[in-house]
Amino acid sequence: MANTVIGSSIVIDGEISGDEDLVIQGTVKGKISLKESLYVEGSGVVEADIETQNVEIAGRVTGNIVASDKVELKTDCRVVGDIKAPRILIADGASFKGNVDMDMKER
Amino acid sequence: MATAKELSASNNVDNTVVGPSILISGRLTGDEDLTVRGRVEGELTLSRTLIVEPSGVVKANVAVRNAIVSGVVVGNINATESVELTREGRMVGDIRAPRVIIVDGASFRGRVDMGDVEPGRLPAERPAVVRPTAVSRPSVTPARPTIPAARPTPPPPPSRPTPPPPPARPSAPAATTRPSAPITRPGLGGLGSKPLPPPPPTRVERAESQAEQAGAAEPPTPVLVGAGAKKKVVVKKKTR
Amino acid sequence: MATGETGIIGKGIVIKGNLTGGGDLVIEGRVEGQIALKNHLTIESTGKVQADIRAEELTINGEASGNIDASSRVAINASAKVAGDIKAPRVVIEDGAVFNGSIEMDVRLPDDI
């Protein structure tokens, strides 16, 4: 269970880093680096480069994503940017524009 | 109006939490309560309540409605309603709020400005820009000078559509009208960066109820306040 | 002032000048000037003090303006109105009190701040 929730009315312009799960329902611009999982919920808007272990995106993300484990783009998400991760899931209904890099070395 | 007890129970909806390992640096704005168990640096503007838990560290200029500090705050807090330092709270910086509570056990260094003119009580001292002069204490850093000039005198309280009766609350007008002065680096801040509020509503209780209405009616416009806050300078020198 | 016992400056009394002493003191009247006490000073709700104050402990229920230097504790209670700079290891401000000025306590901050 995530400790950190960025609520829907919150706007952060800057950097977020940490060692725990992060749920974004609001807006984050800048940079996110986490050692755990990031969840961008339906209301979430992220304009940031993301570095994390796992990402699940149901909202909107603009920026490059590097995940050490997995990136999951859910239905109705909108993602623009390059994704680099050993596992990438794109659900039906997701919209995505960018490059995907699943370089085996990352595993 | 809220103190620690009253508040922590209510307002649980839309509560944003910054977990203990999280560091946010930059500018954070929002219209909901924020609980900090980790660390927030930079600038923090909320139209509701900031709760800094014992593990939390806020190194920022803060503009909120209420603040409850059980952790560490380094920076100035500007609250439209109240600031409470609990037993575990530690703060270095200036507080400006109509209601300030410091509980035994809390530690604090900085100025307190409740901006309250009791009828007949030192009214002469209060009018805006006056106070900064009191600031000529040695510990103060250069950042200060920008403020008095920048901070307009209260009379025309522009921005905040405060409910008619009371004079506008201090923070909003000032923030909006403040020209974009040079941004002072956090860390250099001065005590005196805190401007004097307009001769505020007289009694605390009334101020509160107004504040509540005002808050409900329209949250402080985050960006503007934020911009103001940034100039306002964060931290007092640690060494005094 | 008194030595050892508790002195009281009653409601009707106005003192202009310096007050020094070793005992506890309760002020219900008015004092203007300077106060230096070794022990506990209480300003009652009827008391009005315009003075720089030094004491071990200070409890304010009334009005005080001036700088305060207390070696142990300053309590600004709900009915108090205080203006001035305070230096003390412990300072308490109750809800409802009005205070304008600076407070200087020792603040132990984390190292990484």
Q: State the residue range of the domain holding C90.
A: 5-99
Could you say which of A2, A9, A16 has the minimum Cβ distance to residue B24? Answer: A16
Where is average pLDDT lowest: A54-58, B70-74, B232-236, C106-110?
B232-236
Q: pLDDT grade, residue B124 (50/70/90)?
A: very low
Is the residue at B124 inside a domain? no
A10/B16 touch (CB, cutoff 8 Å), yes or no: yes
If one compares A71 and B131, the residue with the highest pLDDT of the two is: A71
The count of structural domains within chain B is: 2
Nearest to B18 among A4, A11, A15 (CB): A4
- Residue C112 maps to a domain: no
Residues B47 and B106 in one domain: yes
Residue C14 belongs to some domain of the structure:
yes
In a domain, residue C104? The reply is no
* Same-domain status, B48 and B105: yes
- C6 confidence band (pLDDT: 50, 70, 90): confident
Distance CA B75, CA B20 (A): 20
- State the SS3 of B65-92: EEEEECCEEECCEEEEEEEEECCCCEEE
**pLDDT for B14:** 55
Q: What is the mean pLDDT of chain B?
A: 65
**Cα of B42 to nearest chain A Cα, Å:** 9
Domain limits, chain A: 4-101
Binary contact (A14, B15; C-beta < 8 A): no
Q: Phi/psi at B217 (nearest 5 deg)? A: -60, -45
- The domain boundary, picked from B53, B85, B113, lies at B113
Answer whether B123 touches A (CB < 8 Å).
no
Q: What is the pLDDT of residue B98?
A: 95
Q: Do B28 and A11 touch (CB under 8 A)?
A: yes
Q: Is residue B198 part of a domain?
A: yes
Average pLDDT over residues B48-59: 97
Region of residue A7 (phi > 0: left; psi between -120 and 50: alpha; otherwise: beta): beta
Q: Check: pTM over 0.90? Answer yes or no.
A: no
What is the pLDDT, as a whole number, of residue A103?
78
Residue, of B226 and B112, whose pLDDT is higher? B112
Residue C80 lies in a domain: yes
Residue B175: domain span: 162-239
The tens digit of pLDDT for each residue in B87-96 reads 999 999 999 9
- In the chain, the amino acid numbered A48 is A
C-beta atoms of B111 and C98 within 8 A: no
Instruction: Read off the tokens for B213.
Output: 């209405």
pLDDT value of position C22 = 87
pLDDT at B137: 40
Please tell me the total count of domains within chain C. Answer: 1
Pairing type for strands B23-30 and A11-18 reads: antiparallel
- For C99, the enclosing helix (H) or strand (E) is strand C98-104
Mean pLDDT calculated for residue range B155-164? 45
Residue B101 has pLDDT above 80, yes or no: yes
What confidence score (pLDDT) does residue B170 get? 43
Token pair listed for B166: 């009371």
CB contact set of B60 (below 8 Å; sequence gap of 6+):
B28, B40, B41, B42, B43, B44, B75, B186, B234
Q: pLDDT under 50 in chain A at which residues? A: 1-2, 106-107
Does residue B135 carry a pLDDT above 90? no
Instruction: Using DSSP bridges, classify how beta strands B16-18 and A87-90 pair: parallel, antiparallel or unpaired.
Output: unpaired
CB B91 within 8 A of CB B76: no
How far apart are alpha carbons A106 and C77 in whole angstroms? Answer: 63
B20 CA: distance to closest CA in chain A (Å): 8
Which pLDDT belongs to residue A87?
95
Flag whether pLDDT at B204 surpasses 50: no
**Among the partner residues A6, A17, A21, nearest to B16 by beta-carbon distance:** A6
- The DSSP annotation for B19-67 comes to -TT-EEEEEEEESS-EEESSEEEEEEEESSEEEE-TT-EEEEEEEEEEE
Chain C 66-85, residues with CB within 8 Å of chain B CB atoms: 81, 83
Residue in chain C closest to B1 (alpha carbons) equals: C95
Between B157 and B30, residue with greater pLDDT:
B30
- The identity of residue B86, as a single letter, is T
Nearest to B131 by CA among B193, B183, B184, B204: B193
Q: Give the residue, C59 or B170, on which the prediction is more confident.
A: C59
Residues B45-54 have a mean pLDDT of: 97
Domain membership flag for residue C108: no
Band (B116; pLDDT cuts 50, 70, 90)? low
**Three-class DSSP category at B214:** helix
CB contact under 8 A, B21 and A6: no
Once rounded to an integer, what is the mean pLDDT over residues B184-213?
43
Q: Could you tell me the two tokens for B212? A: 């509540």
Tokens 């979430």 -> residue:
A44
Of the candidates B108, B72, B101, B97, the one whose C-alpha atom is nearest the C-alpha of residue B84 is B101
CB contact under 8 A, A18 and B22: yes
Which residues of chain C lie closer than 8 angstroms to B109, CB-CB? 103-107
CB of B28 within 8 Å of any CB in chain A?
yes
Contact B22 A4 (CB under 8 A): yes
